[in-house]
Amino acid sequence: MTTSKEQADASADGDAAGTADAESRKLTLAEVLEIFTAGRLPLRFTAYDGSTAGPPDAAFTLDLKTPRGTTYLVTGFGDLGLARAYIAGDLDIRGVHPGDPYELLKTLETLEFPRASPRLMARIVRSIGVEHLRPVSPPPQEVPPRWRRIAGGLRHSKSRDAEAIHHHYDVSNIFYEWVLGPSMTYTCACYPHLDASLEEAQENKYRLVFEKLRLKPGDRLLDVGCGWGGMVRYAARRGVHALGVTLSQEQAGWAQRAIADEGLEHAEVRYGDYRDIAETGFDAVSSIGLLEHIGVRNYPAYFRFLCSRIRPGGLLLNHCITRSDNKTEPAARGFIDRYVFPDGELTGSGRIVTEAQDAGLEVLHEENLRPHYALTLRDWCANLVEHWDEAVTEIGLPAAKVWGLYMAGSRLAFESGGIELHHVLAVNSRGNSDDADLPLRPWWTP
């Protein structure tokens, strides 16, 4: 005859054995994902081990197709692992177009990842397999980490800057024509109203810069980091002698042909480094989308150089992407640094204003065009979707995926306020504000 205590002990032993058996069982990949998302997965997930998770009727699906994809996800930090698996074809997305995965990324932003206990993490590692903790070669579209780029020169040396610009801007002029549209302008547009087209908004941006710089026929404009020469050509059409410089040979060639086709006598675009511009005495300097590539530690030299090229009383308009604060470390990491803008750096608008002032420029006006960049990226993504098949043929599927992912993700960042777009207008007053002869209040139309 067994006692109640003996029965309770036996039951406890059985429960312990059951728990032990459960904990020794390997978790499926879907179960691992559910653990990391606390069971609140807003999309469907399928994996090569046959497991699934998330609502069956979800609008979006992630399909993990290969063990290599698991390795990418486990060994990549932040967004880098997801990007590697997706770009290499080891992770498929369904429910959105690869040229504009905005809605999927917006859904992924809602995920929260609670921290697992050490005991649970050990079980997850056993389930996944230790072999997946050893990194494998990334997709060929990825550039090496920053510490390995030293072979190309010190960061922001002329040689290394040229290589970074080549990586991003010398993809294919035909590809850029499809994505950017007829304006061939790869910077934030300024939308006069919500229903404006991309072309209207880009023309309006050039108009705004032109007016802020108080340019008039016969003036001399230097446009550093001029891209495909959009600002140069806009100014030259209005009688301004405009010189542009770009580190992209593809951009320079395209711009020179466009200038010749339009018969613009007072427009010039050079292939080279802005630091090699010898001319001085310009009435105005525009820098539209260059500062992101300069490196924050080089801001003092950058602003001193531009100041030295402007006549007393001349104006500088600096247009660039910024962080939303002045405390975050000014460095790009993860997907953006390895696939999009190698060596790119962002900082807050306050740091930019400070450096411009310390270089001897008087800052007159500053404004944030953040919502306009979200709209610009929306329209670029729409263009990529429209020309997707041609784009894939031109630059390859992995590179086309990079562009869709990068632009849609950047749109989200601008919408949320994580990054911004600032105009800083300054004058080379040289300690004498009378030299500028400027109106008392802003003279341009917003």
Tokens of 259: 């200038």
Return d(Cα 321, Cα 414) in angstroms, integer: 10
Could you tell me what percent of the chain has a pLDDT over 90? 79
Residue with tokens 């480094």: 273
Going by pLDDT thresholds of 50, 70 and 90, the confidence category of residue 38 is confident
Indicate if 216 and 258 belong to the same structural domain: yes
Going by pLDDT thresholds of 50, 70 and 90, the confidence category of residue 272 is very high
Question: Which stretches of 111-151 are DSSP H helices?
Answer: 118-128
Please report the pLDDT score of residue 302 as a whole number: 97
| Counted domains in the chain | 2
63 within some domain: yes
Going by pLDDT thresholds of 50, 70 and 90, the confidence category of residue 317 is very high
Return d(Cα 278, Cα 226) in angstroms, integer: 17
Return d(Cα 322, Cα 370) in angstroms, integer: 9
Mean local confidence (pLDDT), 238-254: 96
Strand order in the sheet with 91-94: 52-53, 44-47, 61-64, 91-94
pLDDT reading at 234 higher than 90: yes
Return d(Cα 244, Cα 225) in angstroms, integer: 7
Indicate if 118 and 192 belong to the same structural domain: no
Q: Are 140 and 401 in contact (CB under 8 A)?
A: no
> Which CATH number fits the domain that encloses residue 165?
3.40.50.150
Mean pLDDT taken over the chain? 90
- Of 65-69, 128-132, 238-242, 367-371, least confident by mean pLDDT is 128-132
405 within some domain: yes
Indicate if 116 and 176 belong to the same structural domain: no
Return d(Cα 341, Cα 143) in angstroms, integer: 10
Going by pLDDT thresholds of 50, 70 and 90, the confidence category of residue 111 is confident
327 within some domain: yes
pTM over 0.75: yes
Return d(Cα 151, Cα 229) in angstroms, integer: 31
Could you tell me what percent of the chain has a pLDDT over 70? 87
pLDDT reading at 431 higher than 80: no
> Which CATH number fits the domain that encloses residue 69?
3.30.1050
Q: What share of the chain is helix, strand, coil (3-state, %, to 5)?
A: 50, 15, 35
42 lies in which domain range? 20-133
383 within some domain: yes
- Tell me the per-residue pLDDT of 8-21, one tens digit each, with 9 for 90 and over: 444 444 444 445 55
143 within some domain: no
169 within some domain: yes
Please report the pLDDT score of residue 153 as a whole number: 53
6 within some domain: no
Indicate if 266 and 413 belong to the same structural domain: yes
Final residue in a domain of this structure, among 133, 166, 192: 133
144 against 394, higher pLDDT = 394
233 within some domain: yes
Indicate if 305 and 220 belong to the same structural domain: yes
- Tell me the per-residue pLDDT of 90-102, one tens digit each, with 9 for 90 and over: 999 999 999 999 9
Please report the pLDDT score of residue 16 as a whole number: 44
Indicate if 115 and 169 belong to the same structural domain: no
Please report the pLDDT score of residue 341 as a whole number: 84
The β-bridge partners of 93 are: 62
Packing angle, helices 249-262 and 173-180, rounded to 10: 70
- Nearest in space to 238 (alpha carbons), one of 253, 219, 257, 255: 219
CA distances 211 to 261, 358, 366, Å, are 26, 25, 15
Packing angle, helices 349-358 and 299-309, rounded to 10: 50
Biggest alpha carbon–alpha carbon distance for the chain: 111
The β-bridge partners of 363 are: 426
